[in-house]
Amino acid sequence: MNTSELIKEAKSGSAAAQKYLFDLLADKMLMVCRRYVKNQQDAEELVLDGFFKVFKNLSSFSYQGDAALHVWVKRIMINECLMFLRKKNVFKMVTEGQVEEIPLQEKALDNLAAAEIFNLIIQLPIGYRTIFNLHVIKGMPHAEIASLLEIAEGTSKSQLSKARTLLQKFLSQNHIEYAKRKSQ
Amino acid sequence: MLNENPNKDFHWKSKLDDLESLPGEIFNKDALWDRLHIRMQQKHGNKKAAWYWAAAACLLTALLIPLLFSKKNGNTIVKSNPAQQTIQTPATNVLPEGKKDSFGFITTIAAENKKPANLFENTEKMIAPANHKVLTFENVPVKKNKEELVEPVVIKEAVEPLGTNSNAVALVPGKKKLRVVHINELGEPADKPPAMTAQKTEHHSFQLKLANQEVFVNPSGAYTKTGFTILSSKNSPN
């Protein structure tokens, strides 16, 4: 059964098809949620809420390929994460003056494994991490992030700048450790 | 991905997207699915329950509406005695002095209920007002003894009230003074039989003008055997 038929079955209320879809997407969606929410249990709850919304609104989704399905489900998960963070009121960020920015060497990230990149990102403070995820990984412009998180656009930019600097520091440490390990 | 930066030079983002699990971390997917499934079923059940409640409410309303209406209509039914009674009192005041030995009764119909007008709200027919008086003349032998006339004669189904199908009960208080109805007030349409006059031979006749006809009572005292007077009429010059 291909994904299109699977979605049709899930739309008609087939529990088996819904479970198959869940199994197909749950792992990746858990990782997406964990990039925003560090805690595993919180992330699992958000996956649960997100899939509940996915199946509730599946009738409004028109299948146009696997990539579109992934994007749609991922967007729902990210929205759930942002709602969760907003409820916790973690976005009390203030615009700070220009900080010394160290450019992020993305080539260095390429050399890392996915899990290592993930571990570096989740070490960032929650505000930095959220804006880094939204702007660098999701590709959302600062204006949109500002309206979504109800913060000033400048705040979003400064938070991103700090996130890059911190991440570069982590990378440097990681690189030193990696070099040490390699030399041993 | 559509929304993500189309940065082709670096692969770390796609690597991050493809990440499905972290080494050493266990994700119990089946337990999460069970919880999700239970939640979805609960939601479905709640929806069903809401529909059942709505249907039950509609049914109850549909049952109650006729019940309420029937109660309302039930108020219009006049509480009545099984035997409809009409009390007739002798029309001794109606006729002039000296004619009281003639026959004739005033039938008074009164409902027991103090608000009779409300009782007939829904009837389309003309309603007889309370204490409606109908003058009737019947072939009843006149009793000359006034003492005997004090007791009203009770007859059943004597006179039907005008246009009512209700069981209005006529009970007249004994001491209530009856309104004097002069015979000349009883103008009836011309098509009705001129049964509203009464006379006796030894008394003077009286005259009714009905429509364009003048009705005269025969002064010669042409009583029929049934007690009704013979009336003669002629066209009025006016």
Do residue A27 and residue B20 have CB atoms under 8 angstroms apart?
yes
Dihedral sign of CA atoms B108, B112, B115, B119 in order: negative
Angle at A81 between CA A12 and CA A174, to 5 degrees: 125
User: CB distance from A122 to chain B under 8 Å?
Assistant: no
Task: Kindly state whether B31 is in contact with chain A, defined as any CB-CB distance less than 8 angstroms.
Answer: no
Instruction: Provide the pLDDT for residue A2.
Output: 83
Of residues A12, A19, A35, the one with CA closest to residue A123 = A35
Of B92, B196, B198, the closest CA to residue B148 belongs to: B92
Contact flag A137-B13 (C-beta cutoff 8 Å): yes
CB nearest to B39's CB, from A23, A28, A52: A52
Task: Tell whether B8 is within 8 A of chain A (Cβ).
Answer: no
Question: How many DSSP H helices and E strands does chain B contain?
Answer: 4, 7
Of B32, B37, B43, nearest to A26 by CB-CB distance is B32
Identify the weakest region by mean pLDDT among A35-39, B13-17, B148-152, B214-218: B148-152
Q: What is the mean pLDDT of the segment spanning A25-41?
A: 91
Instruction: Check if the beta carbon of residue A175 is closer than 8 Å to that of residue A109.
Output: no
User: What DSSP state is assigned to residue A151?
Assistant: -
For residue A52, pLDDT over 90 is answered with yes
Residue B21 contacts A, CB cutoff 8 Å: yes
Is A5 within 8 Å of chain B by CB? no
Task: Measure CB to CB from residue B37 to each of A15, A28, A68 and give the nearest one.
Answer: A15
Q: How does residue B178 score in pLDDT terms, banded at 50, 70 and 90?
A: confident
The CA distance from A90 to the nearest CA of chain B, in Å, is: 24
Q: Is B180 on the interface with A (CB under 8 A)?
A: no
Residues B94-116 pLDDT 10s = 445 554 444 444 444 444 444 44
| A48 inside 8 A of chain B by CB | yes
Amino acid at B22: L
CB B3 within 8 A of CB A138: yes
Flag whether the ipTM exceeds 0.95: no
pLDDT tens digits, one per residue of B37-90: 998 888 777 777 888 899 999 999 999 988 888 876 655 555 555 444 445 555
With the C-alpha atoms ordered B40, B42, B46, B52, is the resulting torsion angle positive or negative? positive
CB–CB of B194/B231 below 8 Å?
A: yes
- The helix/strand/coil state of B136 is strand
A100/chain B closest Cα distance in angstroms = 24
Cross-chain residue pair B16–A30, CB shorter than 8 Å: no
Tokens representing A153?
């656009």
Query: What single string gives the DSSP state of each residue in A28-53?
Result: HHHHHHHHH---HHHHHHHHHHHHHH
Contacts A139 to B, Cβ<8 Å: 3-6
Whole-structure pTM value: 0.52
Residue B116 vs residue B209, higher pLDDT: B209
Q: What is the pLDDT of residue B51?
A: 85
Confidence of residue B203 (pLDDT cuts 50, 70, 90): low
- In chain A, which residues have their Cβ closer than 8 Å to the Cβ of B15? 113-114, 117
Cβ proximity of B17 and A71 under 8 Å:
no
pLDDT given at position B27: 82
Chain A residues in contact with B21 by the CB 8 A cut-off are 27, 30-31
Instruction: Find the residue in A nearest to B10 (Cα).
Output: A110
Residues B102 and B140: their CA atoms lie apart, in Å, by 9
Q: Report the C-alpha gap between A91 and A123 in whole angstroms.
A: 17
- The end-to-end CA distance of chain B, in Å, is 110
